[in-house]
Amino acid sequence: MPFQPGNTEASKRGQNRRFKAALIRYVDADPRKLDELAAKLWSTAMGGDTSAMKEIADRLDGKVAQPIAGDSELDPINLVAEIKRTIVDPGHTDSQSVPPTPEPGEI
């Protein structure tokens, strides 16, 4: 069986870093290019491109926080119905010989 790479996403992270570094070098060489890119994005958004509109909104206001949603039956608050604390003596094998845990108000 030939070698199978394990983490294929690792190489993509490296590519993203190289792309970002190349982009920074490009903009550093001519800062007006960044202004041209912003103008192009703006004109695309004004032309009705919703992804360009979203990109501008994300850059100006920050990305919208996504709520954590799930099934109400699996809600962690509903999963824990009761927590019991039981002290067990390792010398006893009969579970009946261990006294029950007192309720919080009984202590």
Q: What is the pLDDT along the chain (107 residues), one digit of tens a residue?
A: 566 666 666 666 667 788 888 888 888 888 888 889 899 999 999 999 999 999 988 888 877 777 766 666 655 555 666 677 777 776 666 555 556 666 776 65
The answer for residues whose C-beta is within 8 angstroms of residue 41's C-beta and 6 or more apart is 52, 55, 56
> Are the beta carbons of 84 and 101 closer than 8 angstroms?
yes
What pLDDT does residue 34 have?
86
What pLDDT does residue 100 have?
65
What pLDDT does residue 103 have?
72
Tokens of 59: 């850059």
Which residue's entry shows tokens 């927590």? 83
Give the helix ranges, DSSP H, for the chain. 8-29, 32-46, 50-61, 76-79
Tell me which amino acid residue 85 is: R
> Are the beta carbons of 35 and 46 closer than 8 angstroms?
no
Q: What is the pTM of this model?
A: 0.43
> Are the beta carbons of 101 and 87 closer than 8 angstroms?
yes
Nearest-angstrom CA–CA distance, 44 and 38: 10
